[in-house]
Amino acid sequence: MRTFSLDSATLVRTDRNPPQLLFKLAEWVRRYLPGEIAGTTVELGGAAVMFLLTGSYAAAAIAAAVGATSAYYAAVYTNAVRWAWQGQLQGNCALRVMRANLLASRSIVMEFGPAELIDSVLVRPAAYCLGPALFGGAATGWIAAKVFSDLVFYTCTVFVYERFKGLLAHRKQRVEESHDAIPASTTAHP
């Protein structure tokens, strides 16, 4: 048995138990992929349309940042409300809706606020302005800008998510998905 360390989490690898890191990666993909698909589509599309209309990389960078933010958080908020709703088992419908929306709002501000501030104000606009010049073309430069910006964004976001998970709206794990769950007994009864 080998033990790996990743921040405060300890990963134990045995032949019967795959590394916990694989479960963490799957959890992060399930959590962030819907927003990423929506954000990327609008980000690259918005940058291309704005560049075609204006011929300006700066205008394209602003359109990319605004488009990515709007589409990403529409998807993220929808998921957060859905997860928070599932956790609200008591009260009438109006009260459940209010609590789910408040929890979703708090979760988004906590989880994404610091990363979004760094990303939208500094990293992404600069990367979209400099990317085409550094990589010799709009398409290549914008893809490189996207990848670089996302690495910065998700480094901050995943750190906050793992640190404050108990305060955030999140998907409830089903028993069969839980890697920590004790398997049901398979003993035959006479």
pLDDT digit string (tens) for the chain, length 190 residues: 444 444 444 444 444 556 788 888 988 998 899 999 999 899 889 989 999 999 998 898 889 888 988 999 999 999 899 888 887 777 788 888 898 899 999 999 999 999 989 988 899 889 988 998 999 988 899 889 989 999 999 999 999 998 888 778 776 665 444 444 444 333 333 3
pTM here is 0.68
- Taking the C-alpha atoms of residue 164 and residue 14, their distance in angstroms, rounded to an integer, is 28
Q: Which two structure tokens, joined as six digits, stand for 18? A: 């795959």
Which of 190, 172, 184 shows the shortest CA–CA distance to 83? 172
The overall longest dimension of the chain from CA atoms, in Å, is 78
What's the DSSP call for residue 14?
Answer: -
- Residue 35 sits at the vertex; the CA angle it makes with 121 and 66, to the nearest 5 degrees, is 35
- Taking the C-alpha atoms of residue 62 and residue 39, their distance in angstroms, rounded to an integer, is 14
- The SS3 call for residue 13 is strand
Distances (CA, A) of 139 to 1, 92, 164: 46, 51, 37
Torsion sign over Cα 33, 78, 40, 112: negative
Contact 155, 161 (CB under 8 A): no
Contact 43, 53 (CB under 8 A): no
Q: Which two structure tokens, joined as six digits, stand for 34? A: 């819907």
Q: What pLDDT is stored for residue 127 in this prediction? A: 92
What are the sequence ranges of the domains in the chain? 36-171
Q: What pLDDT is stored for residue 155 in this prediction? A: 94
Q: What pLDDT is stored for residue 181 in this prediction? A: 44
Beta bridge partners of 11: 4
